Structure 1
Amino acid sequence: MTKLGTPGPDQGVSGVPAVPPPPAPPTAGRRPEAVARIGLYGLLAANAAAVAVFFVRAGFGVNALLLLGRLTGLYAALLMAFQLLLVARLPWLDRRIGMDRLTLWHRWTGFGLLWTLLGHAVFITFGYAEMSSMDPVDQLVDLAGTVEGVLRAVVALALILVVGAVSARRARRRLAYETWHFVHLYTYVAVVLAFTHQVAAGSTFTASPAATAYWYGLWGAALAAVFAGRLVLPLWRNRRHRLRVTAVVPENDQVVSVHITGRDLDRLPARAGQFFLWRFLTKDRWWQANPFSLSAAPDGRTLRLTVKAAGDGSAALRHLEPGTRVFAEGPYGAFTALRRTRPDVLLIAGGVGVTPIRALLEELHGHAVVLYRVNTEADAVLHDELRELAHAKGAELHLVTGPSVPDRLAPGELSRLVPDLTDRDVYVCGPPGMTAAVLRGLRELGVPRRQIHHERFSLAG
């Protein structure tokens, strides 16, 4: 283990322009993440209450099973709209909560949606079967053939079941992201079918002009959020900035840095610690999007990502030609200085997880300690830059090397290296196993949860 870095004046680092430090973090008031969470919870609770009010006003002139069917159907419609909001990639939410957490919430909301839709189908079918004395299967066939919109609802439920099956953890691990994503797109077909079913057959939807206006407004807002965040904003930003590769620099046999420039990059709202979904517009890779974080703080002129070859897509980046057009979605992520709560920071990186940590060190103010965990010194990507940056900013840099056992970032080692870590914000980025172990150690050492920041850079759960 090596300790590097000595106090020095704040200055630019070799090859990387100096970035003016952002304002000091607030020491009082609600954190941005908490504000966003409260806002989302409040929005969901307010709409749940509105749905209940419209349900009650529609009356109870049916049997109990049909009442339950109507209620579960209404809340399924609400959850479906809320799911769209969670994956709309709206900048205000993403910068405060992070795509990883929004995606996780979307996943669990999806399972809630699946069960409410199944409940709706079962209660409605058995409720009508009780009234008609028909077999439930025959009753469902009869409803699909005679009631407008029911067949569309059956197809929507089937699509949701398929998407739910491929989203299960075991199935998700076996599928390539592109395959999973293609299947997941059918959710939008299910949304349209479900909404048209609600318009055609929903008694609560037509119970009053206010109810009709509410449901049109809810669905319109959800679909508009997706349209704006997933389509309009990325297209507008890429037309505005016209990104291109300027250089490809090998860092070692497995890691490469890609330098990108474009127009008006000073107007791109990117922060150190964030990532983009990058599409390099070559003949064989234009269709593939990969989440790579920035490995240098944005300076208004260039962007840089540093990638380890972990598959065909990332390995192919070594062969990119300067001038290659780039389509980038983002910036995404809440792994930024916006989450600061304390004057000083501890940055913990593992392997290629050093990329957002290196960018954060460049931007953050206050005293910083950096722990960089690798197997051998040869694996320490961007180590020279970190050393120069630590010297320029008066930070401490500890290069922690050696095999995974014993754990060199165990609680005892952490408290020895950084005795005042409970008084610091802690940013952690590395392999999942290392990150989970470090987070457990930090909690064991009594670091308040609000001071611990981590983010998983991936597209899906």
Structure 2
Amino acid sequence: MTSHAPAAPFVSAGAADRTISRPLIPRARGTRRAQWNIAATAVIWATSLFVAALWVAGGGVQSLLAGGGETLTTLGRITGLVSANLLLYQVLLMARVPLFERGFGRDAITRMHRWVGFWSFWLLLAHIVLLVLGYAVTAGVNPLAQAWDFVWNYPGMLLATAGTALLVMIVATSIRRARRRLRYESWHLLHLYGYLGVGLAIPHMLWTGADFLTYPLATVYWWTLWALVAASVIVFRVAAPLWRSWRHDIRVHQVVRDGTSGVVVRMRGRRLERLGARGGQFFVWRFLDGAGWTRGHPLSLATDPSRGELVVAAKMVGDGTQRLASLRPGTRVLVEGPFGHLTGDVRKGRKLLMLGAGAGVSPLLSILESEPYAPGEAILVTRDHTDEDALRTDAVADLVRRRGLRHFRLIGPRLPEGSTWLPAAHADWRGADLIRHLAPDLEDYDVFVCGPLPWMSAVRADLDAAGIRADRVHTEAFTI
């Protein structure tokens, strides 16, 4: 390996302009987070085991051993029960319920939502196929004739068929290859039909599902779960955001261009500190500027929210972000949040190593503005394809001057293999060696990583190779 320094660094050891004496990790916050996690996990396990108990109590094990049509039918029952439970949890996980937001964090919830969604869908298909075959074998009829009889002659099945078609559409457009072909706004609008699909599936459970109605306790369970899901969507996705936005009267204060492809939106309001936001977190923003205002923009805070304003920065890569540049001062803003665990609360060490690509630099800057560190104890590495793509350069320069931040820029086309998070100009470096070169005492650092998912995965691999402990690496993804 050729021995040379990282490309185009600029470093300043200017003294910090303030002294912060608060502890790095408030013990109470760490304890509360663990308690929320235990509570959320317990709820999911308890309900899942209850569904299995319903199947067993209904003679599921005996039917499973009976063979023939009875075995197929009972397998159809259990796949349907589990699918229904997962389908409702899929909605509940994305309803911004505090129990799950505080217990798992947005990154974990996003992964769970995707995993639960696909499993509920495949179990739903298995439920349909197994029941059709089970009834057909028992009655001695053609499976296609049995399927037709289900749809047209069983109560609620026409609605369930329509709901299944909607869920098929949602799953098909959620496959990564298909989703890349859709604009985010179009995909998000299609995804909302999932609520309608779930709603259309419920009536046939009440009218034809013995496992839902045979036992009073089962009936209470399902009605309670459905009511909680519906109430959670209404309260946490609609009522709470409307109330908080009205209460704080959040409005656009200023819109400025950020380099050649970025935009910065500054917002102000009443008592914004009561939102409880922290550097590194994000909100879902809706700007009431005309048609299309219902589309939410999941954007991270770009500055320390304790400064009395909320600031976001974005690259203008789609219709939604292009609209940000045309916002006018005074435009009302609806917000959902704050969300996310990518904050200074997770710190365990004294020093900070921040690795950001593109718009992923913004939440890292808000953490750097709000967290305590001595001059030279924080490193920011930014990755851009070209020099013109860089965002928030003025904010970075300000942190270098005021707080003694060390900043290294990595610019250029990516490496085709190896450490693909690096530019081709660093082809002689191994990623793990470059990380150790920047932070020789890596054991003293907490590492925050934010950027596109493939880029973050490549960084994580080299951080592992560099030997840093997994609990010192903090990432958060906001895509489904």
TM surpasses 0.5:
yes
**Selected match of 1:228 from 212, 227, 235:** 235
Report the CA distance shift for 1:262/1:209 in structure 2 as closer, same or farther (over 3 A).
same
Aligned AA for 2:433? G
- In the TM superposition, what is the alpha-carbon distance from 1:4 to its structure 2 partner? 1.8
Aligned to 1:55: 55
**Structure 2: runs of 5+ lacking an equivalent:** 1-7, 64-69, 414-422
Aligned to 1:301: 308
Report the CA distance shift for 1:131/1:435 in structure 2 as closer, same or farther (over 3 A).
closer
- For 1:234-267, what per-residue CA distance to the aligned partner results, in whole angstroms no more than 9, with x for missing partners? 1111111121111122232322221111122121
Aligned to 2:18: 11
Aligned AA for 1:133? G
Aligned to 2:424: 405
- In the TM superposition, what is the alpha-carbon distance from 1:109 to its structure 2 partner? 1.0
Q: Is 2:261–2:389's contact at 8 Å kept on the other side of the alignment?
A: no
Aligned AA for 1:369? I
Q: Is 1:89–1:99's contact at 8 Å kept on the other side of the alignment?
A: no
Query: Secondary structure at 2:222's aligned position in 1?
Result: helix
**Structure 2 Cα separation of the partners of residues 352 and 170 of structure 1:** 23
Q: What is the alpha-carbon root mean square deviation over aligned residues?
A: 2.7
Matched, 1:381 2:381: no
Which piece of structure 1 moves more, 136-145 or 30-39?
Answer: 30-39
Aligned to 1:17: none
- For 1:95-153, what per-residue CA distance to the aligned partner results, in whole angstroms no more than 9, with x for missing partners? 55443432221112111111111111112111211221111111122233333233333
Report the CA distance shift for 1:67/1:375 in structure 2 as closer, same or farther (over 3 A).
closer
Q: Is 2:91–2:195's contact at 8 Å kept on the other side of the alignment?
A: no
Aligned AA for 1:383? T
Query: Secondary structure at 1:322's aligned position in 2?
Result: coil
Query: Secondary structure at 2:201's aligned position in 1?
Result: helix
Aligned AA for 1:396? R
Report the CA distance shift for 1:287/1:49 in structure 2 as closer, same or farther (over 3 A).
closer
- In the TM superposition, what is the alpha-carbon distance from 1:442 to its structure 2 partner? 0.3
Q: Is 2:40–2:99's contact at 8 Å kept on the other side of the alignment?
A: no
- In the TM superposition, what is the alpha-carbon distance from 1:376 to its structure 2 partner? 5.9
Aligned AA for 1:42? A
Report the CA distance shift for 1:187/1:372 in structure 2 as closer, same or farther (over 3 A).
closer
Query: Secondary structure at 2:189's aligned position in 1?
Result: helix
Q: Is 1:65–1:124's contact at 8 Å kept on the other side of the alignment?
A: yes
Q: Is 2:247–2:270's contact at 8 Å kept on the other side of the alignment?
A: yes
Higher relative contact order structure (alpha carbons within 8 Å, sequence separation ≥ 6): 1
Aligned AA for 1:309? M
Which piece of structure 1 moves more, 198-207 or 36-45?
Answer: 36-45
- In the TM superposition, what is the alpha-carbon distance from 1:444 to its structure 2 partner? 0.8
**Structure 1 Cα separation of the partners of residues 301 and 179 of structure 2:** 27
Q: TM-score, normalised by structure 2?
A: 0.86
**Structure 2 Cα separation of the partners of residues 383 and 371 of structure 1:** 12
Aligned to 1:454: 475
Report the CA distance shift for 1:285/1:104 in structure 2 as closer, same or farther (over 3 A).
same
Report the CA distance shift for 1:447/1:145 in structure 2 as closer, same or farther (over 3 A).
same
Aligned to 2:143: 136
**Structure 2 Cα separation of the partners of residues 440 and 160 of structure 1:** 35
**Structure 1 Cα separation of the partners of residues 34 and 425 of structure 2:** 37
**Structure 1 Cα separation of the partners of residues 135 and 385 of structure 2:** 65
Aligned to 1:150: 157
**Structure 2 Cα separation of the partners of residues 301 and 385 of structure 1:** 17
- In the TM superposition, what is the alpha-carbon distance from 1:81 to its structure 2 partner? 1.7
Query: Secondary structure at 2:325's aligned position in 1?
Result: helix
Matched, 1:326 2:347: no
Q: Is 2:260–2:389's contact at 8 Å kept on the other side of the alignment?
A: no
**Structure 2 Cα separation of the partners of residues 373 and 171 of structure 1:** 27
**Selected match of 2:459 from 433, 438, 446:** 438
Query: Secondary structure at 1:204's aligned position in 2?
Result: helix
Query: Secondary structure at 1:259's aligned position in 2?
Result: strand
Query: Secondary structure at 1:205's aligned position in 2?
Result: helix
**Structure 2 Cα separation of the partners of residues 127 and 84 of structure 1:** 30
**Structure 1 Cα separation of the partners of residues 357 and 224 of structure 2:** 46
**Structure 1 Cα separation of the partners of residues 322 and 74 of structure 2:** 56
**Structure 1 Cα separation of the partners of residues 333 and 383 of structure 2:** 32
Aligned to 1:316: 323
**Structure 2 Cα separation of the partners of residues 96 and 387 of structure 1:** 36
Q: TM-score, normalised by structure 1?
A: 0.89
**Structure 2 Cα separation of the partners of residues 421 and 106 of structure 1:** 34
Aligned AA for 1:58? G
Report the CA distance shift for 1:30/1:290 in structure 2 as closer, same or farther (over 3 A).
closer
Report the CA distance shift for 1:285/1:222 in structure 2 as closer, same or farther (over 3 A).
closer
Alignment of 1:195-344 (within 5 A): 195-299=202-306, 301-344=308-351
**Structure 1: runs of 5+ lacking an equivalent:** 13-19
Report the CA distance shift for 1:409/1:225 in structure 2 as closer, same or farther (over 3 A).
farther
Report the CA distance shift for 1:127/1:303 in structure 2 as closer, same or farther (over 3 A).
same
Matched, 1:44 2:41: no
Query: Secondary structure at 1:329's aligned position in 2?
Result: strand
**Structure 2 Cα separation of the partners of residues 338 and 104 of structure 1:** 22
**Structure 2 Cα separation of the partners of residues 414 and 457 of structure 1:** 25
